[in-house]
């Protein structure tokens, strides 16, 4: 396994870089979309709420592999030519947005209504209330499930090899078929996934420790 | 939900009252919580609202602040109709922004404080100064410290709510409301969630406010406070105002049987 790592590290690292670029872009874009969807899911207006609910159901309720293929084949049908890597980022974004929206929705529902009423009575607009009162607390509350989701997306990004994006998984397959050492190769790949996720988990734990000040829900 | 009816036919409110309500009523589902309430509040007046639990005191205060939309009647703040407007003879809800503007003169203090836990005491006070009034951080901090000073908490400015006592939290909540320079303050049982030994420090702050001429509506079970500080006491039961008048009259010569009962129960509880 070490031998594989040593002999093939340039391509492996390139694959890993692609994995990271795709996953982290999707997570960041998905966060923005996820927050907006969560606002939609907690809206007073049914007309805003139910399309957001529908969106969430679709992207949480279908396999990610299917979503990848759908986006990849659907876009050219409607005249949009996009590179496989963009299709991959798009799909993972749309997917993680659904999961993140549910995480944020649950977080928002844990903020006591009285805090929001206090903001309203101070004249703070509902948009500012979301930005300054609700979301800072929600990000702290939801850090553990959010970390899980990030790790899930990193792992799920291995599926994008089906639309010919040469990320870590695909690179490993190529090395395995060239060297006839599939076991060693896949173990090396596993090690790389684990290393990245370990760093993420540590980062999250560190953040969580730093943010404990001022988080009583009272 | 009953439809909000047309604008109250009554003439525009007499000026001079800061808050004025005509015939407001409110239902939660089938439960009628407020029935045909009239209310007015003159500048510098201190009104205490008393009554058994579930009689609609909180709902009244929340309707006067439009935290709950009332179903019928009208609430005027400084002569402006709160929450609704007349459009082609039909009554419709106003925008959130308009609600904010009309109730800007109202500050509110809640039973459970509702401080923002991720903000320090000072930040709780300065948040709206910066977001709503557009003050710079420095201006807001100066103003905020003055408010904390007023409630005797300048030494707690950097503390998060979790490390404050209940009485301190409530005083920060009062400072937060005062920072927006309200012309009238609503208090919903401000001392009911406090340990008995912490009640006094909050009531003291409120007494000082009253002495400085602040207009206040206070829902409370503190009869002693009501007797000493209120200009007028309103007794509510089952969603109606049963009796109202100066505290001396109300407490010494209750007219209705329900108020007599209420006061007797209170005395029994507070003697042992
Ligand atoms: N949001 C609500 N939904 C349904 N019922 C409510 C709601 N708020 C209050 N009520 C009911 O309205 C009645 C009056 O409540 P409230 O105004 O809180 O009384 P008080 O403050 O005098 O104790 C009670 O029966 C209460 O259960
Ligand atoms: Mg109440």
> ipTM for the complex?
0.91
Q: Which residues of A58-93 are buried (b: 16+ CB within 10 A; e: fewer)?
A: ebeeeebeebbbebbeeeeeeeeeeebbbbbbbbbb
Kindly state whether residue A36 falls inside one of the protein's structural domains.
yes
Nearest neighbour of B162 by CB, restricted to A112, A115, A214: A214
Give chain B's mean pLDDT: 93
| pLDDT average, residue stretch A136-154 | 94
Kindly state whether residue A215 falls inside one of the protein's structural domains.
no
Tally of domains in chain A: 1
Q: Is A118 on the interface with B (CB under 8 A)?
A: yes
Q: In a 3-state reduction of DSSP, which class is residue A142?
A: coil
- With cut-offs at 50, 70 and 90, classify the pLDDT of residue B29: very high
pLDDT > 80? residue B12: no
Nearest to B205, CA basis, from B231, B179, B177, B174:
B174
pLDDT tens readout for residues B185-197:
999 999 999 999 9
Q: Do A125 and B97 touch (CB under 8 A)?
A: yes
Give chain A's mean pLDDT: 92
pLDDT number for residue B259? 95
- With cut-offs at 50, 70 and 90, classify the pLDDT of residue B1: very low
pLDDT number for residue B7? 47
Nearest to B169, CA basis, from B119, B212, B132:
B119
- With cut-offs at 50, 70 and 90, classify the pLDDT of residue B209: very high
| pLDDT average, residue stretch A161-167 | 87
Alpha helices in A62-217 (DSSP H): 64-77, 84-109, 113-121, 126-128, 135-141, 143-156, 168-179, 182-210
* Shortest-distance atom of ligand 1 to CA B68: 1
Domain limits at A196?
A: 2-210
Distance from Cα A170 to the centre of ligand 1, integer Å: 61
| pLDDT average, residue stretch A181-186 | 91
Distance from Cα B30 to the centre of ligand 1, integer Å: 12
- With cut-offs at 50, 70 and 90, classify the pLDDT of residue A212: low
Kindly state whether residue A195 falls inside one of the protein's structural domains.
yes
Nearest neighbour of A214 by CB, restricted to B117, B127, B131: B117
Mutate to test the pocket of ligand 1, among B27, B28, B30, B71 (most ligand atoms within 8 A of CB): B28
Cα B114 to Cα A174: distance, rounded to the nearest angstrom: 58
Give me the phi and psi of B64, to 5 degrees please: -65, -25
Query: What percent of chain A shows pLDDT beyond 90?
Result: 82
pLDDT tens readout for residues B156-181:
999 999 999 999 999 999 999 999 99
| Ligand 1 surroundings by CB, under 6 angstroms | B 28, 31, 33, 51, 53-59
| pLDDT average, residue stretch A81-85 | 90
What CATH number does residue A168 fall under? 1.10.3720.10
| pLDDT average, residue stretch B81-85 | 95
pLDDT number for residue B9? 45
Identify the DSSP state of A191: H
- With cut-offs at 50, 70 and 90, classify the pLDDT of residue B10: very low
Q: How is residue B72 written in tokens?
A: 């019928």
Cα B38 to Cα B202: distance, rounded to the nearest angstrom: 29
Q: How is residue B180 written in tokens?
A: 């927006």
Kindly state whether residue A218 falls inside one of the protein's structural domains.
no
Q: Is A122 on the interface with B (CB under 8 A)?
A: yes
Kindly state whether residue A115 falls inside one of the protein's structural domains.
yes
The minimum CA-CA distance between B120 and chain A, rounded to whole Å, is 8
Cα B120 to Cα B163: distance, rounded to the nearest angstrom: 10
pLDDT tens readout for residues A18-71:
999 999 999 999 999 999 999 999 998 999 999 999 999 999 999 999 999 999
Q: Is B130 on the interface with A (CB under 8 A)?
A: no
Kindly state whether residue A26 falls inside one of the protein's structural domains.
yes
Cα B227 to Cα B221: distance, rounded to the nearest angstrom: 11
Nearest to A150, CA basis, from A41, A15, A31:
A31
- Please answer whether residues B114 and A112 qualify as being in contact, where contact means their C-beta atoms are separated by less than 8 angstroms: yes
- With cut-offs at 50, 70 and 90, classify the pLDDT of residue A162: confident
Cα B267 to Cα B272: distance, rounded to the nearest angstrom: 9
Q: Is B263 on the interface with A (CB under 8 A)?
A: no
Among the ranges given (A18-22, A110-114, B4-8), the one the predictor scored with the smallest mean pLDDT = B4-8
Q: Is B160 on the interface with A (CB under 8 A)?
A: yes
Kindly state whether residue A120 falls inside one of the protein's structural domains.
yes
pTM of the model: 0.89
Give me the phi and psi of A210, to 5 degrees please: -70, -25
Kindly state whether residue A217 falls inside one of the protein's structural domains.
no
Length of chain B equals 272
């Amino acid at each position: 396994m070490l031998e594989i790592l040593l002999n093939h590290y340039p391509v492996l690292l390139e694959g890993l870089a692609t994995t990271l670029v795709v996953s982290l872009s999707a997570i960041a874009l998905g966060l923005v979309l996820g927050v907006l969807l969560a606002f939609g899911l907690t809206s007073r207006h049914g007309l805003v709420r139910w399309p957001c609910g529908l969106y969430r159901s679709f992207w949480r309720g279908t396999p990610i592999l299917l979503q990848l293929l759908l986006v990849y084949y659907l876009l050219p049908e409607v005249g949009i030519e996009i590179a496989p890597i963009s299709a991959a980022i798009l799909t993972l974004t749309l997917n993680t947005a659904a999961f993140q929206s549910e995480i944020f929705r649950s977080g928002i529902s844990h903020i006591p209504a009285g805090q929001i009423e206090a903001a309203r009575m101070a004249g703070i607009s509902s948009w500012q209330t979301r930005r300054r009162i609700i979301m800072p607390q929600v990000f702290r509350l939801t850090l553990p499930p959010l970390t899980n989701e990030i790790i899930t997306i990193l792992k799920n990004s291995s599926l994008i090899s089906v639309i010919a994006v040469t990320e870590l998984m695909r690179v490993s397959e190529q090395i395995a078929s060239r060297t006839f050492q599939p076991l060693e190769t896949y173990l090396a790949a596993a090690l790389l996934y684990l290393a990245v996720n370990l760093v993420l988990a540590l980062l999250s734990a560190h953040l969580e420790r730093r943010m404990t000040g001022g988080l009583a829900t009272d | 939900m009953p439809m909000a009816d047309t604008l109250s036919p009554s003439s525009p409110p007499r000026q001079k009252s800061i808050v004025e309500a005509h015939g407001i009523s409110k239902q939660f589902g089938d439960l009628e919580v407020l029935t045909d309430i009239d209310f007015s509040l003159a500048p510098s007046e201190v009104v205490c609202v008393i009554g058994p639990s579930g009689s609609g005191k909180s709902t009244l205060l929340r309707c006067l602040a439009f935290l709950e939309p009332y179903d019928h009647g009208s609430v005027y703040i400084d002569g402006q109709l709160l929450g609704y407007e007349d459009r082609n003879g039909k009554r419709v809800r106003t925008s959130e922004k308009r609600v904010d503007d009309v109730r800007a003169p109202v500050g509110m203090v809640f039973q459970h404080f509702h401080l923002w836990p991720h903000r320090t005491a000072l930040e709780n006070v300065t948040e709206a100064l910066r977001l709503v009034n557009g003050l710079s951080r420095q201006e807001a901090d100066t103003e905020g410290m003055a408010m904390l000073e007023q409630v005797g908490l300048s030494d707690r400015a950097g503390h998060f709510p979790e490390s404050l006592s209940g009485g301190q939290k409530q005083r920060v909540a009062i400072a937060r409301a005062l920072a927006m320079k309200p012309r009238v303050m609503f208090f919903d049982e401000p001392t009911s969630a406090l340990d008995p030994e912490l009640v006094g420090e909050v009531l003291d702050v409120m007494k000082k406010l009253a002495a400085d001429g602040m207009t206040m509506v206070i829902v409370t079970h503190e009869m002693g406070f009501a007797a000493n500080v209120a200009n007028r006491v309103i007794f509510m039961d089952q969603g109606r105002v049963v009796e109202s008048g100066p505290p001396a009259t109300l407490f010494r010569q209750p007219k209705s049987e329900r108020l007599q009962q209420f006061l007797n129960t209170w005395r029994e509880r507070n003697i042992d």
